[in-house]
Amino acid sequence: MRLEIVSLFPAICAGPLSESIMGRAQREGLVDIKLVNLRDYAHDRRQSVDDSPYGGGAGMVLRVEPLFECIESLLDDDAHVVLMTPQGRPFNQATARRLATKKHLILVCGHYEGIDERARQALIDEELSLGDYVLTNGAIAAVVVSDAVIRLLPGALGSDESSDDESFGREPLLEYPQYTRPVVFRNMKVPDVLLSGNHEEIRKWRQEQRVIRTAGRRPDLLRQHMETGEVNGNKKECD
């Protein structure tokens, strides 16, 4: 995958992108990441890329000229351009899986009061938001999306099945409880089924725990899970 992040503050992205799975994915050639400073496309010595909004109002707006010149310089036939903005559709695991199939992803980081609408209409393929809150700029949001997408690339996790059992994996359920050594700690014991060696019983227990945990924490996801026609890993029988 080719990934570019367009931002006024590319340094915000540099550290996280060089660590852990994202760093390893780059070193192994699974993803080619480029951080693009929008100010490099400014037309004045001050490298200004914003201006006050027509019609008045607080704040500043990213100007149309640098946005067009920057994004157009990155475009190719495979490019998919995403704007990180509070106005976007909420980002989720299904979107991450879809974006992970793209050959070329361009993440544009919003800032100030947003971007000139002409750039939005002409250049942006979709808009994404991390949630119903506002960040100082879209750079941190772009790193989050990059992480969620890169870890889904084939080979990024070592085992491509690793992401299936996680929260929001193939099923819309939260992950089951996890335990490791010691077996007993301060009178708290690992469940016997996990020590039994019976893989089928362990699988059933884990699926049951996923349903229980999701019901308590995210009942909306449980309803979605029920609508898919599966309960505890088995297809529901129709009445």
41 is an annotated ligand-binding site residue: no
88 is an annotated ligand-binding site residue: no
Q: Are 97 and 168 in contact (CB under 8 A)?
A: no
179 is an annotated ligand-binding site residue: no
Strands (E), 101-166: 104-109, 126-129
130 is an annotated ligand-binding site residue: yes
Q: In sequence order, what are the beta bridge partners of 104?
A: 2, 79
133 is an annotated ligand-binding site residue: yes
d(CA 5, CA 137): 13
Closest by Cα among 55, 61, 56 to 113? 61
78 is an annotated ligand-binding site residue: no
131 is an annotated ligand-binding site residue: yes
For the record, the structure tokens of 60 come out as 């500043």
Maximum distance among all Cα pairs of the chain, rounded to whole angstroms: 72
Q: Which residues are annotated as a binding site?
A: 110, 130-135
Q: Which residues are annotated as a binding site for S-adenosyl-L-methionine?
A: 110, 130-135
